Amino acid sequence: MERLNEALTLILCGRLRQQLIVDAFTCLQEVRLDYIRLNQKTIRKEVLCGLTDAVSRGDTTPASIGRRVVLPSSFTGGPRYMVQNYQDAMAICRWAGPPDLFITFTCNPKWPEITEFLANIPGQRPEDRPDVVVRVFKIKLDELICDLTTKEHFGRTIADDKPLTPEDIDRILCAELPDTEVDLIGYEIIVQSMMHGPCGSMNERSPCMEDGKCSKHYPRSFQETKTVNDEGYALYRRRNNGHTTTKNGQVLDNRFVIPYNIDLVVKFQAHINVERCNKDRSLKYLFKYMNKGPDMALARIEQAREGNNGNEAQNNQEQVIGEIQNHLKCRYVSAFEACWRIFSFSIQYKNPPVQRLTFHLEGHQEVIFEDHEHLDDVLERVGAKKTTLTEWMTANRMYPEARELTYADFPTQWVWLSDEKRWKPRENGNNIGRIYFAHPASGEKYYLRLLLNIVKGATCFADIRTVNGIIHPTYKEACHALGLLDGDHEWHEGLVEAATWSTGPQM
């Protein structure tokens, strides 16, 4: 955007330039959404049972089914994308145990890389150049991830060994001002980046204040030693040792320090909040905004037409427009986010990769069909369809060693070749599997999924229903025979599973 010997009009436009960047990004998204709108028939999937139902009702064309406009999970940032990645993250946690540390890394517009670049044109502020700020942040973020993973700053990150004991975490984390005599550099950056407030009685108008109290619970109380309170939260050591600093004319002491790791803060010269995870809650906090949805309000003024009130018109319109419209309705894009996305920087990253496993009742494979296809042809094509589930059974028939694993654990030692539609033994890499979620109200599908998390070595669907040599007619009865549904057990299981990913109101 910035070229020697060229006018700087575009760069010097201030807020207008931010608007331009946001517009450019929304244009890009609009093109992608247009593609999705125009290709609904290839995107839209229906389970085969849905199709057969439609046949029995006398419908002959698939066009009558699934009139919904689907925003597929491949659309980055869309609701289905978020849900899928959230479930993947949960699968990693189920496999590896809950996370140890929760780290937040915030960009520092005063970084020398940014200020030096901005100084090229007098009067430029960081908000005038989201393109520069975003690139510098990306470089630093990659460096931080490299420090944490490859360089093992906190120990090994591959979750199968658990290096962090409570003592380790005490050594890593701190919530006190460094001694200026011992570590002046550390003290300066902590004062600059890691002090909360002033808030409370010192500053009633601080953004963290809600109902006269600090929503982040600052100032914390002094602690001579580290303890864990009744709710499992770690209370870090915050001694009343006279170390203080001044911020906005107010004196702040150890009670206002945001927990940090000194090495990271000094190296990156930024706000990097490192906290020990409260195992039960931190996961949901990670995805809190996905679960509760964005804070939004939509107002609309409409002229009521005769014989048709405004509400109805709105409802009808929504039914047709569907998921794309719902996504756009509450979208907020900042210039920084727009730049991040225009540069195609990823908005999430996870390791090890998670393989999503489909599952279905016998003969109920998912199919893709087009409006003009005749339903009989669709059904015929589906008859021979191989899925990861049917081929898991095939592998069980062919390889004795395959029979040691449940379906969900299969990707840990086997690789799915999607072109050849078969599993082969894994030679390298690491992968974990998860079976798509089934709602408890989905009947047999739900019970089949319960069994697939337990059963090993099944070679056909009947095997999955076989308990102690008896083939049960339904998956539910097999679950009964295994004692999975005894008393309230079924509901306990369902609640325990849902509790790992949903929030109170959802349950």
Residues of this chain that interact with Zn ion (CB under 5 A) are 199, 208, 214, 216, 218
Residue 401 CB coordination number (10 Å): 11
* Identity of the residue, 216 or 247, whose beta carbon is nearer to Zn ion in the bound complex: 216
* Identity of the residue, 217 or 305, whose beta carbon is nearer to Zn ion in the bound complex: 217
Residue 26 Cβ vs Zn ion, minimum distance, rounded to whole Å: 34
Residue 481 Cβ vs Zn ion, minimum distance, rounded to whole Å: 56
- Please give the DSSP secondary-structure letter assigned to residue 486: S
Q: What residues contact 394, with CB distance under 8 A and at least 6 apart?
A: 386, 422, 423
* Identity of the residue, 144 or 214, whose beta carbon is nearer to Zn ion in the bound complex: 214
| 182, 269 Cβ separation under 8 angstroms | no
Q: Is 372 exposed, middle or buried (0-12, 13-18, 19+ CB in 10 A)?
A: exposed
Residue 394 Cβ vs Zn ion, minimum distance, rounded to whole Å: 59
* Identity of the residue, 51 or 214, whose beta carbon is nearer to Zn ion in the bound complex: 214
Q: Which helix (H) or strand (E) holds 481?
A: helix 475-481
* Identity of the residue, 217 or 329, whose beta carbon is nearer to Zn ion in the bound complex: 217
* Identity of the residue, 181 or 204, whose beta carbon is nearer to Zn ion in the bound complex: 204
Q: What residues contact 295, with CB distance under 8 A and at least 6 apart?
A: none
Residue 257 Cβ vs Zn ion, minimum distance, rounded to whole Å: 12
* Identity of the residue, 126 or 197, whose beta carbon is nearer to Zn ion in the bound complex: 197
Q: Is 170 exposed, middle or buried (0-12, 13-18, 19+ CB in 10 A)?
A: middle
* Identity of the residue, 216 or 255, whose beta carbon is nearer to Zn ion in the bound complex: 216
Residue 107 Cβ vs Zn ion, minimum distance, rounded to whole Å: 21
* Identity of the residue, 214 or 450, whose beta carbon is nearer to Zn ion in the bound complex: 214
Residue 70 Cβ vs Zn ion, minimum distance, rounded to whole Å: 43
Task: Give the integer Cα–Cα distance in Å for 79 and 325.
Answer: 12
Task: Give the integer Cα–Cα distance in Å for 99 and 90.
Answer: 11
Residue 334 Cβ vs Zn ion, minimum distance, rounded to whole Å: 23
Q: In sequence order, what E strands does 66-127 have?
A: 101-106
Task: Give the integer Cα–Cα distance in Å for 98 and 276.
Answer: 11
Residue 261 Cβ vs Zn ion, minimum distance, rounded to whole Å: 22
Residue 185 Cβ vs Zn ion, minimum distance, rounded to whole Å: 26
Task: Give the integer Cα–Cα distance in Å for 157 and 359.
Answer: 31
Task: Give the integer Cα–Cα distance in Å for 494 and 486.
Answer: 13
Residue 110 Cβ vs Zn ion, minimum distance, rounded to whole Å: 22
Name residue 184's amino acid: L
Q: Is 247 exposed, middle or buried (0-12, 13-18, 19+ CB in 10 A)?
A: middle
* Identity of the residue, 208 or 333, whose beta carbon is nearer to Zn ion in the bound complex: 208
Pair of tokens at residue 97: 């145990």
Residue 217 Cβ vs Zn ion, minimum distance, rounded to whole Å: 8
Name residue 191's amino acid: V
* Identity of the residue, 62 or 197, whose beta carbon is nearer to Zn ion in the bound complex: 197
Task: Give ∠ CA 447-361-408 in degrees, rounded to 5.
Answer: 65
* Identity of the residue, 41 or 216, whose beta carbon is nearer to Zn ion in the bound complex: 216
Q: In sequence order, what E strands does 198-315 have?
A: 209-210, 213-214, 227-228, 234-235, 244-247, 250-253, 271-276
Residue 69 Cβ vs Zn ion, minimum distance, rounded to whole Å: 43
Pair of tokens at residue 339: 């730049």
Minimal CA–CA distance to 497: which of 507, 505, 482? 507
**Residue 334: what are its φ and ψ, rounded to 5°?**
-95, 165
